[in-house]
Structure 1
Amino acid sequence: MAAKSSAQKPDPEMAPPKPQTVKRAGLAGLLKDSLSHQVGQHREMQPNEADEQGARMAQPLRVDLIDPNPYQPRMSFDAEEIEELAQSIDELGLQSPITVRVKGERFELVTGECRLRAHKVLGRVMISSFVVQIDDETSAANALQENVQRKNLSDFEIFNSIMRMRADFHSSKTIKQKIKISKAHLSRIDAFEVFTPGALEILRKNPKIMGSNTAGALRSALNLLPELNKTAIDDAFCKALRDLTSNKIKQNAFVSAVLSQLGVTKTPKPKAVSSDIQREGVTIAYVKDTKKERVICLDRKEFTEDQLNSIWDYVKSVSPTKKE
């Protein structure tokens, strides 16, 4: 007699798992993720000079114990902007503590001049602060970088700050490491060196009346002129700057105004020149300057492929990535 077979019920624990439904992120979730990413990027962009000293921990310090940074690059502060910042701090609190360093029995500000001034406007006794251990040069560089980063510092204020640092610290190493300015922009900022002492004093009183593009154009024009009397140059610079300050002329007419004061009625043009580059009496390259370009022609048989690649890499390293 054959045994009856009975159907065996499947074990629920052995059943294959049901596929899970993946929920697509809604608009709110996407916005939240995007905001978190942007906040993270914002924090990364903030001056973080204390990272070198280890973990950062803010502490409240008395406002009256904090002295200003002697290397503060700003030459003037907008009272209205300070009032607006004070109102924001009053409503939302201080979002980013200031940075200070110990100076004897007091503290010296590194970054956060506007935030400190806003606290004084509010009559606050204490301010949240990071205390760091850095030298004078790094403190000066950090103060400059913070203001450059906020994009409300004039080109002349940047120039004046860099000149002070170069004079006091005799090195541009920290400047290059700390200040995120393109080489092309820095070169134009250096053009303010052509201004005479009298002209520089006028610019210090009105640091926002001229940008580095105008300074660079003036430097280029002066390089094409024969040597001129220093007193005549100073008079021409100061006259044109006073006219610019009083809105008698616009910034795009400044170079012409200076040249006119110097008796130059026509803007000089660069002459096309050609020169050979020799090694042991053999011409290995030549340079040709025209109105619009400088052409450097290399004799291929005089250079190895590695040397040619090195020259090309160098050209790329010093070339501006964009016009500013």
Structure 2
Amino acid sequence: MKSNDYPGNPNSQTMHGLRTPEAIPKPQVSRATARALMLEKAGLNAAPEVNQTLSAALLEGELIDGERILANVPVNQIVKSPYQPRLVFDEKAIEELATSIQTIGLGKPIIVRRLPDGKLELVGGERRWRAVRLNGDETIPAVIQNMTDGIAMILALTDNGGEDLTDYEHARSYHRILENGEEQSQRALARRLGVNVSIVSRCLTLMQLPESIRAVLDKSPGLITCNYAKRFVDHVEAQPGIVAKAVQAMDEAGVQQEAALRLIEKEIAALNKDPTPPKNERRSIEGVGTIKVTGTRLEFKCEKGIDPQRLSQHFEEFLRTLDLSAVRSEVP
């Protein structure tokens, strides 16, 4: 009889007790090694004195993902961002935040990126950083992330999204991002930030104001909102001096937008209004004659030596080339 008991035969009685070989275990990477690899990938190995401090202060679970590290970083190693959208910080609000942090702790870490000199640039969370410094803390929880200047601009803006930035502060950041080329259009920028493109467009209108007015807004960014920006810009095109004076009054005397616009419009209307000519006005043109205006009637009396026929011919030729819009009455 032919034997069925041979290697490889699924019906073989002698093969039932065999087990599938276990996988060869992969070498375990220690937590310290993983930490070192992550720090090196994040570019934190170029400044040993900073790395030593950071490595000693790393939090439990600090490896967020392949691009970011959560760490307790020294407060004095952090420098401010040139892309901070906020122009004015409310010191009272900072003090209140500092008290809150002392009571319940810091609920959200700041965001930083590493600079070539070993310092950490603050990308998001300057109010939190200021509050922690006010409390005298030596370290602060931070997400350390590699990023380009363009990404730093975006994150600096989005991190402040819930902290009541003014329309002008938004406008400056939108303008900077578009000028940098991080986004190619207002619509693309709006989509990336998750806002309506009309909001981006209205805010950017504020950047059309002249530099002298924007210098005032740099100190008091809440003076003009995007809803009124177009009216201010339109008036600037007609009378920049009047608008600049009104904005200065807004800053110094607390004049509100609507009141300032009414003042601007009143002054511009007064400048554009033609004075009523005196009755029977008479003006002399030396060597030619005298013009007399009576209501809608205009008379011209020639001086001695002027031929009225020749003058009338020249006058007729002039009238044929006249731009009627320049002489039409504004009163219907």
Structure 1 length-normalised TM: 0.58
- Pairing 1:215-226 to 2, within 5 Å after superposition: 215-219=229-233, 221-222=234-235
AA matched with 2:200 = L
Q: Deviations over 1:73-124 (max 9, x none)?
A: 0001011111111111111111111111111211111111011101110111
SS in 2 for 1:262: helix
Distance 1:253 1:137, change over 3 A: same
The reply to whether residue 91 of structure 1 matches residue 97 of structure 2 is no
| Aligned-pair CA distance for 1:209 | 1.6
1:241 corresponding residue in structure 2: 247
Return the alpha-carbon distance in structure 2 between the equivalents of residues 177 and 101 of structure 1: 25
1:184 corresponding residue in structure 2: 198
Contact preservation (8 Å) 1:99, 1:109:
yes
1:127 corresponding residue in structure 2: 140
2:114 corresponding residue in structure 1: 102
2:210 corresponding residue in structure 1: 196
| Aligned-pair CA distance for 1:165 | 2.5
Contact preservation (8 Å) 1:98, 1:115:
yes
Rg larger in 1 or in 2? 2
Distance 1:172 1:154, change over 3 A: farther
| Aligned-pair CA distance for 1:206 | 0.8
The percentage of counterpart residues that share the same residue type is 27
Return the alpha-carbon distance in structure 2 between the equivalents of residues 126 and 249 of structure 1: 43
Distance 1:252 1:121, change over 3 A: same
The reply to whether residue 77 of structure 1 matches residue 89 of structure 2 is yes
Q: Deviations over 1:29-51 (max 9, x none)?
A: xxxxxxxxxxxxxxxxxxxxxx9
| Aligned-pair CA distance for 1:52 | 10
Q: Deviations over 1:261-311 (max 9, x none)?
A: 434689xxxxxxxxxxxxxxxxxxxxxxxxxxxxxxxxxxxxxxxxxxxxx
| Aligned-pair CA distance for 1:179 | 2.1
Distance 1:106 1:193, change over 3 A: closer
1:159 corresponding residue in structure 2: 171
| Aligned-pair CA distance for 1:160 | 1.4
AA matched with 2:251 = T
Match of 2:156 among 136, 143, 147: 143
| Aligned-pair CA distance for 1:169 | 3.5
- Structure 2 unmatched runs, 5+: 1-62, 273-332
Contact preservation (8 Å) 1:189, 1:216:
no
Contact preservation (8 Å) 1:99, 1:112:
yes
Match of 1:254 among 233, 248, 260: 260
Contact preservation (8 Å) 1:68, 1:108:
yes
SS in 1 for 2:87: coil
Distance 1:119 1:72, change over 3 A: same
Contact preservation (8 Å) 2:223, 2:250:
yes
SS in 1 for 2:221: coil
Q: CA RMSD in A?
A: 2.7
Return the alpha-carbon distance in structure 2 between the equivalents of residues 248 and 75 of structure 1: 19
The reply to whether residue 67 of structure 1 matches residue 79 of structure 2 is yes
AA matched with 2:141 = S
Return the alpha-carbon distance in structure 1 between the equivalents of residues 270 and 65 of structure 2: 56
Return the alpha-carbon distance in structure 1 between the equivalents of residues 151 and 67 of structure 2: 18
SS in 2 for 1:127: strand
Return the alpha-carbon distance in structure 1 between the equivalents of residues 79 and 202 of structure 2: 33
SS in 2 for 1:58: strand
Structure 2 length-normalised TM: 0.56
Return the alpha-carbon distance in structure 1 between the equivalents of residues 210 and 149 of structure 2: 28
| Aligned-pair CA distance for 1:176 | 3.3
Equivalent pairs counted in the alignment come to 207
- Structure 1 unmatched runs, 5+: 1-50, 267-324
Pick which of 178-187 and 87-96 moved more.
178-187
Contact preservation (8 Å) 2:232, 2:243:
no
Contact preservation (8 Å) 1:209, 1:245:
yes
Structure of greater relative contact order (alpha carbons < 8 Å, 6+ residues apart): 1
AA matched with 1:211 = T
